[in-house]
Amino acid sequence: MVWNQPSENEPELDPWSKKNKNSKRSKKSKNGLCTLIDFKKIFNFFKIRMKLFYGGSGFFRNVQNSSILVFIITLFVLIINGFYTIKEAERGVITNFGKFSHLVEPGLNWRPVFISQVTPVNVKSVKELATSGIMLTSDENVVRVEMNVQYRITNPLQYLFSVSNPDDSLREATDSALRGVIGHSTMDRVLTEGRTVVRSETQKEIEETIRPYNMGITILDVNFQTARPPEEVKSAFDDAIAARENREQYIREAEAYANEVEPKAYGQAQRVLNKARSYKFQIISEAKGEAIRFLKMLSIYKTSKNITANRLYIESMEKIFRNSRKILVNNNFLLFNLGSLFSQDNKISKNSDSFPRKQKIFVDNDFTSEKINDNNAISNILKKEIMDKRKSNSFRTDCPRKGRE
């Protein structure tokens, strides 16, 4: 029967006979396969089974050749898939079974598929991280702040393996630093003149926060974009900001005016000082001249005291009355301004004879002044009362006169 036909490597068995010793050996061999696998025997076993299954035809040879071809194609595909390209701005991080191996430079590279894995990291582009929120200031006011952080990856190894998520860690560090700086600043400082200080302090706090973690990130700049108060008080703060801007404008205008006026004032002050110095030297010189003149006159005074005293008196009176108003009064209370008369006489004498003389005379009767318009009265008064300087001096008794020699 078919089931009684033994195979090439099996002995003849009788289905009604007892189990021979080969069955015991086969059990021992099975236990040995469990403990120690011989791949060569397994391969031979499958080879014999394939021959029996296909009846020893040439199909098995075709199948074996096809397997080799598939293996070669698969190997070729794996080799081709192992090639990769790193861009100019990137660096490749190679890991073998998850463990860091080395860094690769830009260009064409190769890695064993299913063994090594490459992670490209851009180290030249600038990344941005935006954060915003409503924060409390030191004077217990609420302000909404928006900030933008620019950074660059400088160490790909630290960026991938130091922190699980560097971008989220940087965002949290930025929020913490910004809230700390805003919490120590007043609302006016945040909204107006302290924006630059807040920006620099925030950048410093972020750098100090991420430094211990070695995240492989370098902070390039921190942009303090907007800071605005709540909508309820926005109009009042807008007015305050406008007032500050007007103040700055007025200060600039005042400085420009000062720069324009100060040189003029300085020049005028210098002119006044120079004039004062010259006046000082003039007065000193005149005083010295007067002192010298009085010293010279002292010797003359010692010889003739009365004559010298009268001379000094006359010279002093001449200086006093030279520029003063002189009026003569008679018994009828007629007032004459001799100064105006003499000045008019001098002017008329200088002019040609074709111009008639015109004089105005004022009469004061009972302490009131009236203007005389009658030409006849004026002529009579002139004939009787007007005297020239020489005639008036002839009536003076307060100064001695010398006779002609």
User: Domain limits of the chain?
Assistant: 25-81, 83-122, 128-229, 320-394
User: Which string of b and e fits 323-353 if b means at least 16 CB within 10 Å?
Assistant: eeeeeeeeeeebebbbebbeeebeeeeeeee
Lowest average pLDDT, out of 130-139, 167-176, 201-210, goes to: 130-139
Contact 251, 177 (CB under 8 A): no
Residue 330 pLDDT class (50, 70, 90 cuts): low
Token code pair at residue 268: 């005028």
Residue 272 has pLDDT above 90, yes or no: yes
pLDDT of 326 strictly over 80: no
Which comes out higher in pLDDT, residue 272 or 64? 272
Kindly tell me if the per-residue pLDDT of 285 is higher than 90: yes
Contact 115, 82 (CB under 8 A): no
Q: How far is 74 from 80, CA to CA, in rounded Å?
A: 10
Residue 349 is predicted with a pLDDT of 53
Look at residue 166 and tell me whether its pLDDT is greater than 60.
yes
Task: Determine the Cα–Cα distance for residues 309 and 305; give it in Å rounded to an integer.
Answer: 6
Which residue, among 348, 369, 371, 370, has the nearest Cα to 358 in the 3D structure?
A: 348
Is the pLDDT score of 83 beyond 80?
A: yes
- For helices 166-183 and 195-210, what crossing angle results, to 10°? 140
- Burial bucket for residue 177 (CB in 10 Å: 0-12, 13-18, 19+): buried
pLDDT in tens, 85-138: 888 888 888 888 888 888 888 888 888 888 888 888 888 888 999 888 888 888
Residue with tokens 């293996």: 71
pLDDT above 70 (res 168): yes
Give the residues across from 117 on adjacent strands.
95
Give alpha helix (H) positions in 54-84: 59-81
Q: Is the pLDDT of residue 198 over 60?
A: yes
Average pLDDT estimate for 219-233 = 82
pLDDT at residue 28 tops 50:
no
Is 292 a residue whose pLDDT tops 80?
Answer: yes
Q: Is 356 helix (H, G, I), strand (E, B) or coil?
A: coil
Confidence tier at 343 by pLDDT (50, 70, 90) = low
Residue pointed to by tokens 């699980």 = 164
- pLDDT over threshold 60, residue 397: no
**Percent of the chain at pLDDT exceeding 90:** 15
**Rounded Cα gap, residues 206 and 221, in angstroms:** 11
Residue 194 in this model has a pLDDT that exceeds 70: yes
CA 393 to chain centre: 86
Q: What is the rounded CA–CA span in Å between residue 7 and residue 329?
A: 182
Q: pLDDT per residue over 126-155, tens digit each? A: 899 988 888 888 888 888 888 899 999 998
Pair of tokens at residue 284:
């000193």
Segment among 65-79, 93-107, 240-254 with least mean pLDDT: 65-79
The pTM of this model reads 0.43
Q: Residue 152 pairs with which residues in a beta bridge?
A: 218
What local confidence, expressed as pLDDT, does residue 44 receive? 65
Low-confidence winner among 239-243, 245-249, 265-269, 393-397 (lowest mean pLDDT): 393-397
Selection from 357, 130, 100 nearest residue 223 by Cα: 130
Per the CB < 8 A criterion, the answer to whether 254 and 195 are in contact is no
- Choose from 37-41, 44-48, 366-370, 398-402 the range with maximum mean pLDDT: 44-48
Name the nearest CA neighbour of 143 among 230, 260, 226.
230
Q: pLDDT band for 370, please (50, 70, 90 cuts).
A: very low
pLDDT bin (cut points 50, 70, 90) of residue 386 is very low
Q: Which positions ≥6 away from 297 have C-beta within 8 Å?
A: 308
pLDDT at 177 over 60: yes
What CATH architecture does domain 128-229 belong to?
Answer: 2-Layer Sandwich (3.30)
- Contact (CB, 8 A) for 172 and 180: no
Q: What is the pLDDT of residue 371?
A: 40
Q: Indicate if the alpha-carbon torsion angle 380, 385, 389, 393 is positive or negative.
A: positive
Residues counted in the chain: 405
Q: Are the C-beta atoms of residues 284 and 276 closer than 8 Å to each other?
A: no
Beta bridge partners of 143: 135
> Are residues 130 and 146 in contact, defined by beta-carbon separation less than 8 angstroms?
yes
pLDDT for the residue 16: 45
Give me the pLDDT at residue 23, please.
46
Which region holds residue 79: left if phi is over 0, alpha if psi is between -120 and 50, else beta? alpha
**pLDDT of amino acid 358:** 40
pLDDT of residue 334: 53
The whole-angstrom separation of Cα 271 and Cα 285 is 21
**By CB neighbour count within 10 A (0-12 exposed, 13-18 middle, 19+ buried), where does 32 fall?**
exposed
Burial of 122 (0-12, 13-18, 19+ CB in 10 A): middle
Q: Give me the mean pLDDT over the 14-28 stretch.
A: 44
Residue whose entry in the numeric block shows the structure tokens 């303090």: 224
Higher pLDDT, 281 or 315: 281
Measuring CA to CA, which residue among 139, 141, 132 is closest to residue 226? Answer: 132
- The Cα 96–Cα 112 span in angstroms is 9
AA identity, residue 135 = M
Q: Output the average pLDDT for the chain.
A: 73
Name the helix (H) or strand (E) containing 134.
Answer: strand 127-136
